[in-house]
Structure 1
Amino acid sequence: MLLSRHRARAGHQAPLRTSIADIGIVAGTVPWIWMILTPSDGPAGVGLVPFADLADLAHVPWEVASVQVGGNLLVFAALGALLPVRSRAMSCPARVAAVAAAFSVLVEVLQYVLRLGRFSSVDDVLLNTAGAVIFALVTRRWWADRIPAGTVPR
């Protein structure tokens, strides 16, 4: 409420909606990032070949593969779902993908540079980005109607 009130006083359009979106993005993303950047005893390394790590998941139990893929799809789900609500400029799935990919690359680089005992992979970036775009498309009916016809960027 304080953030919304501050924005209203500053003359922002839709201060409550953007404040709720901002809080949702942070609350829905920070726990995942915290988990990803927590040190682990697992194998460290870098995977730069697209889809190689995903192909390797075909040889592990289904439960392990589904947790790996599902978790990566959910990392930036809140960002993808709420970024178009927060900003009219982000009402294009390609822009949501660009933002999610940039943050995902940052997270993977941090995992490597901080030597957290985690495997940094281009496949994680692809899945994180795909998850953000999927959730942006799932929530499209919530934000698309607030944008005048003909002004949605493609």
Structure 2
Amino acid sequence: MSKLFEAFQSIIPIFILLSFLIIFMTLSINRRTGRKLDTLNKKVHYLIFIGLMLSIIGTLLLTLLPSSNPEKVTQLVPFYSILDTFEYAADYAIINSIGMNILLFVPFGFFLFLIIRQEIITVFFAFLFSAAIEFLQYALPIGRISNVDDVILNTLGGIIGMLAGVIVLKFGIVYNRVRKGK
């Protein structure tokens, strides 16, 4: 856990500041447009929207901040780095490389699915968002490695998040509570 905190230590203050800014801006817009969060349904939808926005911001912060890699590296062979990691890396490196790429997109897939409730479109947007990040990592001079395996793993994370959203809706964890709030 301490290694995880060290890895994210630089972005935590930025994320917290942006979180407060997003919440303040959305509440201000709601107030100015006359939209009130006066029912449970509206409150749940607002929280789901905030969750999606914060997952996008967190993902962009984690993936697009400059790194110390001096050269531009691109890996376009599918599953090459995944298999290489399993074969040669230590356990913590497997968790860091593969697990974190999957985990990074779980909230995005979860919140997006709860908003649009379309499985195929959720998976498509998870793929598109991940591909856009990898393209930006390649195009921008930020010292990041652009890797097709990251797109595969991120999309898998989006699928896992979407499946969690399906379960939440199926068992009525959120949906029944929203229905009662109407």
- Give the alignment's TM-score, normalised by structure 1: 0.79
Query: Secondary structure in 1 aligned to 2:125?
Result: helix
Q: Which residue of 2 aligns with 1:32?
A: 59
SS of the residue aligned with 2:77? coil
* Partner of residue 140, structure 1: 166
Cα pair 1:21 1:85 within 8 Å, conserved: yes
* Cα deviations by residue, 1:35-93 (Å, 9 ceiling, x for unpaired): 211111125311111001111102111111211111111222111111121123x2x2x
> Is the 1:45–1:118 contact (alpha carbons within 8 Å) kept by the matching residues of 2?
yes
**2:78 paired with 1:50:** yes
2:74 is paired with a residue of what secondary structure? strand
Question: What SS class does the counterpart of residue 75 from structure 1 fall into?
Answer: helix
Corresponding residue number in structure 1 for 2:109: 80
**Deviation at 1:32?**
2.7
Q: What is the aligned-residue RMSD (CA, Å)? A: 2.3
The structure with the largest helix share of the pair is 2
Contact 1:33 1:75 in 2 (8 A): no
CA distance in 2, matches of 1:141, 1:31: 24
Describe the shift of the 1:141–1:112 C-alpha distance in structure 2 as closer, same or farther (beyond 3 A). same
Q: Note if contact 1:80-1:136 (Cα within 8 Å) is conserved in structure 2.
A: yes
| Preserved contact between residue 111 and residue 119 of structure 1 (Cα < 8 Å) | yes
- List runs of 5+ in structure 1 lacking aligned partners: 148-154
d(CA) in 1 for partners of 2:34, 2:149: 38
Q: May I ask how many residue pairs the two structures share in their alignment?
A: 140
Match for residue 41 of structure 1? 68
Structure 2 unaligned blocks of 5 or more: 1-25, 177-182
Task: Measure the CA separation in 1 of the matches of 2:34 and 2:112.
Answer: 17
The code of the aligned residue for 1:106 comes to A
Partner of 2:152: 126
Give the alignment's TM-score, normalised by structure 2: 0.68
Separation (CA, whole Å) in 2 of partners of 1:29 and 1:60: 29
Out of 69, 74, 86, the residue aligned to residue 98 of structure 2 is: 69
Contact 1:101 1:129 in 2 (8 A): yes
